[in-house]
C-alpha cells in the first residue's frame, strides 16, 4: 500500500472473495425489496487503501494508459428527470463528445444509470445507489455479447472484426459530488491475468456477466475530489486491442470520503455506457 500523503485519504473498498462452497459467484439485480432470495452468494472483503485526489494532476491519467480520463465540458442538457428526454437530448451530445475524444468511427450508447444517494437505501431498480464493490461493468465475453445485443446481425460481425471498446461517461448531476465519490484504479497497477473474477449478473431480462476484483496491494486508487457537473470522466470497461501497452479495463467503485465536507449534499450522478467502434 502506498504511504499516506497530503493528497491521499483512507478509503474502505470492497473486494471479491469466492463463495466458500465453490459454487459459481452471482449477483442478482434487486427488483423486489420484499423478496427473500439472496442477492449474491459471495461476501465482499473490506480493505482500507489510500486514495489519491488527483485534482491538478488530471493530465497524468489517460484513457489508454490509466484506463480513465477526466474532462471539463458542461452538458447542454442538465435536468436529468425523464429517461426519454435523456435519450433524446443527453445521448447525442455525449456520443459526439466520446467520438471527438477517441477518434472512433461510430459510438452507440446502450444504457444509462442515474444514482441519487439516499441514506439507508439499498441499491435497487429505480433507486440506484452508489456502487459499494470494486468491479468492471463487462467481462470480455459480455462485452462482445453487448455488440450482438445492440446492433443488427447484418452489422455486428463486421464491427467485431475491428477494434472496439466499451466506455462509460460518468458525470455528477446538480451539485459537486463530494459525497460518495467514484474512485478508479490505475490500469498500470492491475494484474490483468490474476485480479479479475467473472461474476454472473442475473436480471429479469438476461444473464450477463461482470468482473469483480481480487485484492492486490499493487493497486493505486485515484479520485477527483469535488467533481462538478461541468466535469466528466471516461471509464474504459473493455478494449479489444491486442496492444499489451494499452489499458483494457479500469476497476472502479464509490467510497465514503472521510474528508468530504459534513454538510455536503448526497451524491447525484449519471453514467452512460457506450459501444465505441473503429474502422
Ligand atoms: C459506473 C459505476 C458507480 C457509482 O459508472 O460504471 O460503476 O457509484 N458507477 O457511480
Ligand atoms: Fe461500473
pLDDT tens figures, 133-157: 999 999 999 999 999 999 999 999 9
pLDDT(1) > 70 = no
What does the pLDDT average to over 36-56? 96
Q: How confident is the model at residue 6 (pLDDT cuts 50, 70, 90)?
A: confident
Ligand 1 centroid, distance to 158 Cα (angstroms): 30
pLDDT of residue 3: 65
Nearest atom within ligand 1 for CA of residue 135: 7
Structure confidence at residue 5 as a pLDDT band (50, 70, 90): confident
- Average confidence score pLDDT of the chain: 96
* % pLDDT > 70, the chain: 99
Which ligand is closest in space to the CA of residue 116?
1
State the CATH number of the domain containing residue 154. 2.60.120
Judge whether 119 lies within some domain.
Answer: yes
- The 10s digit of each residue's pLDDT in 230-242 is 999 999 999 999 9
**Domain coverage including residue 269:** 8-277
Nearest residue (CA) to ligand 1, atom 4: 130
Does position 132 have pLDDT exceeding 70, yes or no?
yes
- pTM score, whole prediction: 0.97
Which ligand is nearest the CA of 136, by number?
Answer: 2
Closest ligand by atom to 130 CA: 1
Instruction: Using the atom order of ligand 1, give the atom closest to the CA of residue 129.
Output: 8
Q: Does the residue 209 lie in any domain?
A: yes
Does residue 124 lie in a domain region?
Answer: yes
Q: What does the alpha-carbon distance between residue 269 and residue 170 come to, in Å, rounded to a whole number?
A: 7
188 pLDDT band, cuts 50/70/90, is very high
| Residues lining ligand 1, Cβ inside 6 A | 115, 130-131, 137, 168, 170, 182, 252, 254, 269, 271
In angstroms, what is the span from residue 102 Cα to ligand 2's centroid? 20
Q: In what order do the strands lie in the sheet with 221-223?
A: 8-15, 45-53, 221-223, 182-185, 252-254, 135-136, 207-213, 196-202, 26-28
Q: How many domains does the chain have?
A: 1
Give the ligand whose atoms come closest to the C-alpha of residue 169.
1
Domain assignment present for residue 249? The answer is yes
Alpha helices in 66-124 (DSSP H): 83-85, 91-102
Which residue's CA is the nearest one to ligand 1's atom 3?
A: 131
How many CA atoms lie within 13 Å of 132's alpha carbon, on the beta-carbon side? 13
Classify burial at 84, counting beta carbons within 10 Å of its beta carbon; exposed 0-12, middle 13-18, buried 19 or more.
Answer: exposed
- Has residue 1 been placed in a domain? no
Tell the residue number behind the cell numbers 433507486, with chain if given: 127
**CA dist list (Å): 75 to 17, 147, 229:** 39, 27, 8
Position 36 in a domain = yes
250 pLDDT above the threshold of 70: yes
- Spatial distance between the Cα atoms of 163 and 30, rounded to a whole number of angstroms: 34
Residue 231 lies in a domain: yes
Residue nearest to atom 8 of ligand 1 (CA): 130
Q: Is the pLDDT of residue 223 over 90?
A: yes
If one residue of 143, 269, 273 were mutated to test the ligand 1 pocket, choosing by the most ligand atoms within 8 A of its CB, it would be 269
Query: Does residue 150 lie in a domain region?
Result: yes
Amino acid at each position: 500500500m502506498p504511504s499516506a500523503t497530503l493528497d491521499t485519504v483512507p478509503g474502505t473498498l470492497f473486494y471479491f472473495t469466492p463463495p466458500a462452497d465453490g459454487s459459481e459467484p452471482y449477483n442478482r439485480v434487486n427488483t423486489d425489496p420484499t423478496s427473500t432470495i439472496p442477492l449474491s452468494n459471495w461476501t465482499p472483503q473490506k480493505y482500507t487503501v489510500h486514495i489519491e485526489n488527483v485534482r491538478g494532476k488530471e493530465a497524468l491519467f489517460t484513457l489508454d494508459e490509466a484506463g480513465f480520463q477526466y474532462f471539463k465540458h458542461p452538458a447542454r442538457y442538465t435536468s436529468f428527470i425523464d429517461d426519454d428526454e435523456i435519450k433524446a437530448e443527453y445521448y447525442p451530445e455525449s456520443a459526439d463528445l466520446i467520438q471527438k475524444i477517441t477518434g472512433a468511427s461510430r459510438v452507440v450508447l446502450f444504457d444509462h444509470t442515474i444514482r441519487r444517494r439516499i441514506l439507508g437505501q439499498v441499491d435497487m431498480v429505480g433507486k440506484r445507489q452508489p456502487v459499494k464493490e470494486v468491479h468492471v461493468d463487462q467481462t470480455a465475453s459480455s462485452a462482445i455479447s453487448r455488440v450482438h445485443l445492440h446492433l443488427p446481425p447484418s452489422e455486428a460481425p463486421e464491427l467485431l472484426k475491428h477494434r472496439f471498446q466499451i466506455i462509460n461517461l460518468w458525470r455528477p448531476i446538480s451539485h459537486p459530488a463530494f459525497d460518495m465519490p467514484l474512485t478508479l484504479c490505475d490500469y498500470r497497477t492491475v494484474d490483468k491475468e490474476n485480479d479479475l473474477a467473472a461474476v454472473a449478473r442475473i436480471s429479469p431480462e438476461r444473464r450477463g456477466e461482470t468482473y469483480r476484483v481480487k485484492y492486490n496491494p499493487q493497486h493505486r486508487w485515484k479520485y477527483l475530489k469535488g467533481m462538478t457537473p461541468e466535469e466528466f470522466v471516461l471509464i474504459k470497461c473493455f478494449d479489444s486491442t491486442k496492444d499489451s501497452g494499452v489499458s483494457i479495463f479500469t476497476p472502479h467503485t464509490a467510497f465514503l470520503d472521510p474528508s468530504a465536507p459534513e454538510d455536503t449534499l448526497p451524491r447525484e450522478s449519471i453514467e452512460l455506457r457506450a459501444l465505441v467502434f473503429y474502422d
